Structure 1
Amino acid sequence: MTAIHATALVDPSAQLDATVSVGPYTVIGPHVKIGAGTTVGPHCVIEGHTTIGRDNRIFQFNSLGAVPQDKKYAGEPTELVIGDRNIVREFCTFNLGTVQDAGVTRIGDDNWIMAYVHVAHDCQLGNQITMANNTTLAGHVQIGDWATIGGLTGVLQRMRIGAHSMVGFASHVNKDVPPFMVVDGHPLEVRAVNLVGLKRRDFSDASLKAIREMHKLIYRQGKTLDEARAAIQALTAQMPEAAADIALMDDFLGSSVSGIAR
């Protein structure tokens, strides 16, 4: 049987796998679905049209699936979707999406989300992301796989943080952060390539060489962004082993609306 504490309030319409564990005084609403092996700690509130996958560990005092902090929200049946094997520490708040966007706030798999993290409406988070304590995401933020965000960082609405990047402690993210880069500060500045993180993830020497070259083209040679992007596109012929990494950077730069951190 599902291990639901006697003091928990689980709506009869909620869909919980038989292996789900629910702690004392937790409240789970009628439109909630929770997958196998997930544990929900005490004093949590999970509401709205919220779907949570397998083998997540949700600690105490979390609020998941509450209505967006958006004055335009008018009660539409929008969603929060959380993937598998995420760690969600204490006092996090993840809100539903809005109809002004895709209508879904989405969190992928294998993410490490520390205490007091806020994920606002319509954010799209990938996999293997680390967000330290008090990270705050405004609406419509996108974060790529394997990104790391330092504590007390605020991310402005609609910003994008690229895959394999690192944002330092107490930063103000008001521009897009390209993949593979280390940024910090207020105003935000790019400091270097995230070599430590890339080496930990076994990036090849060829990939590291290409990423370093892209960093030089964007930040060290006085090029405009269009000029840097054209030079990056030309790297594929010179460094075919790193074609996927080059394409990731090119796509990110080409789709930036707010401009990138320089």
Structure 2
Amino acid sequence: MATIHPTALVDPKAQLADSVSVGPYAVIGPNVVIGEGTSIGAHCVVEGHTTIGRDNQIFQFASIGAAPQDKKYRGEPTQLIIGDRNTIREFCTFNTGTTQDEGITRVGDDNWVMAYVHVAHDCQLGNHLILANNATLAGHVHVGDWVIVGGLTGVHQFVRIGAHAMVGFQTRLAQDVPPFMMVQGNPCEASGFNVEGLRRRGFSAERIAAVKQLYKIIYRQGLTLEAAKAQLAELALARPEAQADVQSVIDFLATATRGIVR
């Protein structure tokens, strides 16, 4: 049986695995599914059509699965899906999706989410992210794996942040960030590529050199974006050991709809 504090309110229709723990005064709604080993802190509210995976730790006062902050929302049964082994700190707010998108807000695995972070409707978050205190993601934001978003950063709706990118403290982000890049400021500007992060994740010297070269092609040679794309295609052929890395940037640029931070 799940360990539920006597003061918690858990709807009988909620599905809690046997090793789930629910703290004092928490509220769990009828359409909630919570996997093995997950803990729900005191005063948390978990509602909506929300599915939470295994071994997550959700700290006190978080609001998980509330209706989206979208005036077009009319109570449709949209979802929030959270993966495994995430840490979600105090006062975070994660909303369900909307029918203007695919109707699902997704959070991957092994993410570290600090206090007061907001994940709005239809966001798609990858794995191994760090979202620092008060990072705010507007609706439909996509964040790739291994991204770091600095504290007090605001991300505009529909922005995409590519894998291994890093967004600095107190940034106003209104354009897409290609994979591997470091950006910061208001207005936001690129300041390099995430070399230290790549080293920590085991990238070889050859792969890091290729990422450095693609950074220079996009940001340091004065090329138009179309000309940069052509040179990146040549780089992918010339660096087979990093072809997948370069191709991920080419694919990202091909689908950028808001322009990229330059």
Q: TM-score range by the shorter chain?
A: over 0.9
Tell me by how many angstroms 1:61 deviates.
Answer: 0.3
Q: Does 1:178 align with 2:178?
A: yes
Tell me by how many angstroms 1:94 deviates.
Answer: 0.3
1:101-140 matches, cutoff 5 A: 101-140=101-140
Residue of structure 2 equivalent to 1:214: 214
Tell me by how many angstroms 1:131 deviates.
Answer: 0.3
Output the CA distance in 1 between the equivalents of 2:205 and 2:253. 23
Residue of structure 1 equivalent to 2:155: 155
Output the CA distance in 2 between the equivalents of 1:222 and 1:165. 22
Deviations 1:107-150 (Å, cap 9, x if unpaired)? 00000000000000000000000000000000000000000000
Residue of structure 1 equivalent to 2:255: 255
Tell me by how many angstroms 1:205 deviates.
Answer: 1.0
SS at match of 2:30: coil
Deviations 1:84-120 (Å, cap 9, x if unpaired)? 0000000000001000001000000000000000000
Residue of structure 1 equivalent to 2:95: 95
Output the CA distance in 1 between the equivalents of 2:208 and 2:243. 12
SS at match of 2:233: helix
Residue of structure 2 equivalent to 1:205: 205
Output the CA distance in 2 between the equivalents of 1:235 and 1:217. 10
Output the CA distance in 2 between the equivalents of 1:255 and 1:188. 20
Q: Which runs of 5+ in 1 are unaligned?
A: none
Output the CA distance in 2 between the equivalents of 1:237 and 1:114. 40
SS at match of 1:99: coil
Tell me by how many angstroms 1:11 deviates.
Answer: 0.2
Letter in 2 for 1:157: Q
Output the CA distance in 1 between the equivalents of 2:185 and 2:212. 21
Question: Which stretch shows the higher mean deviation, 151-160 or 201-210?
Answer: 201-210
Q: How large is the RMSD of aligned CA atoms in angstroms?
A: 0.5
Residue of structure 2 equivalent to 1:83: 83
Output the CA distance in 1 between the equivalents of 2:27 and 2:90. 16
Letter in 2 for 1:184: Q
Residue of structure 2 equivalent to 1:187: 187
4+ residue stretches of structure 1 with deviation over 2 A?
none
TM-score normalised by the chain length of structure 1: 0.99
Deviations 1:181-232 (Å, cap 9, x if unpaired)? 1100000000001111111111111110110010010011111111101110
Output the CA distance in 2 between the equivalents of 1:134 and 1:35. 27
1:21-100 matches, cutoff 5 A: 21-100=21-100
Output the CA distance in 1 between the equivalents of 2:19 and 2:186. 45
Output the CA distance in 2 between the equivalents of 1:192 and 1:50. 38
Output the CA distance in 2 between the equivalents of 1:210 and 1:247. 11
Tell me by how many angstroms 1:235 deviates.
Answer: 1.1
Tell me by how many angstroms 1:247 deviates.
Answer: 1.0
Residue of structure 2 equivalent to 1:7: 7
Output the CA distance in 1 between the equivalents of 2:247 and 2:29. 43
| Number of residue-to-residue matches in the alignment | 262
Output the CA distance in 2 between the equivalents of 1:45 and 1:167. 29
Q: Which runs of 5+ in 2 are unaligned?
A: none
Tell me by how many angstroms 1:178 deviates.
Answer: 0.8
1:210-249 matches, cutoff 5 A: 210-249=210-249
Tell me by how many angstroms 1:153 deviates.
Answer: 0.1
Tell me by how many angstroms 1:233 deviates.
Answer: 1.0
TM-score normalised by the chain length of structure 2: 0.99
